[in-house]
Structure 1
Amino acid sequence: MSSRDIILGRVRRALGEAPRGDAQASYETAVDRGYRREHGSRTTEETVDLLAENLADYRAIVHRCQDEEELPYLITRLLAARGPQYVLVPPGLPPEWMSAADPTRVHDRAVSTTHDLDKVGSVVTGCAVAVAETGTIVLDGSPDQGRRRITLIPDHHICVVRVPDQVVSSVPQALERLDPTRPLTWISGPSATSDIELDRVEGVHGPRTLEVVLVSGE
């Protein structure tokens, strides 16, 4: 028996005996897909608290906002703390979010080059969904998030998450909400990497600073 036969035999045993017929349909019925959907049982408030805790653990800066009336003033304070700068705004960002801020706004345009976007200090977006167990924000390119590149080039990203509507416990629950044909960007904290000596460097292939605003209400 060859090594190939041994390996394929192990694969078949792991997959189980699939019935004959269409291969795709066979594996769908032969392989148990009963994965655990979440770890433990939590209330909605506990799920949001877990998200905030894991975001902070990834060195994201987390802000709580009681309602959307407070949101524009919070965004204004966060942008003012960065000093005078250009702020990138996706085409479908709710206008009231920026109603109290008065920065120089740059709109996402197809003709914008990476050099143009590199001049922008901050970007403000919404999100598609947030995963509490992993502290992950998912963007799907919707109008309030814009194209992927606008959240990768600026050094500062403010991301607004509506709670509890956009918060789920686990990755399987998030996948059920997402369209796999859309350009998905999964963000767990600010962009960072480390070398062989584990020296952490932030802002390598994305924002150096990620601020997440958890806003209550619809």
Structure 2
Amino acid sequence: MDHAALVAALAGTGFGLSLIVAIGAQNAFVLRQGLRGEHVLAVVLICAVSDVVLIALGIAGIGSLLELAPWLLDTMRIGGAAFLLTYATIAARRALHPGELDAETSGAATPLWPTVTTAVALTWLNPHVYLDTILLLGSVAGTHGDDRWWFGAGAAIGSVVWFSALGFGARLLRPLFAKPVAWRILDALIAIVMAAIAVSLLHGLMEG
């Protein structure tokens, strides 16, 4: 790897992290699974691999297809908003009904398949993923010319590191969640975040 490639890779890592290190539906879900200690590896793999695929598509120029077919983003906005509102309702119900929360904190594990389905939906039904990762990151990568794939490699490494740290590092926060009230606060925050993102998606649809 020459100097230019190294600079491109480091720039990709920094830019990629700037896009994903934020409070969002996907990160909130990964954090919650990490705190619960349930199917963490599967969730981290889904999120990280999905990001790598999307980064590769963006650098390959697939973003131009989205620009030519804006109805695809509108469809994803509607589907994503519906899913997020549903998940927000579930999280709000957990926060408002201690009985359901007690059953969850007592050790009742969520099956793998629903967890995997939720992780996939939170990743691929979010139009912001396509706007940020394919269009924006792909465009910035293009400015690095022949080193654009090194830029993408750096962004992919940043994504893998972030989701691994968030998912597996969440266990360090478990002492804070020893009491059910902490879980109720977390679920309330998750419900607010999910609902806010859903509203922003619908608002963007109306503006478009």
Structure 2 length as normaliser, TM-score?
A: 0.23
Q: Which has the higher contact order (CA 8 A, sep 6+)?
A: 2
| Larger helix fraction of residues | 2
Rg comparison, structure with higher value:
1
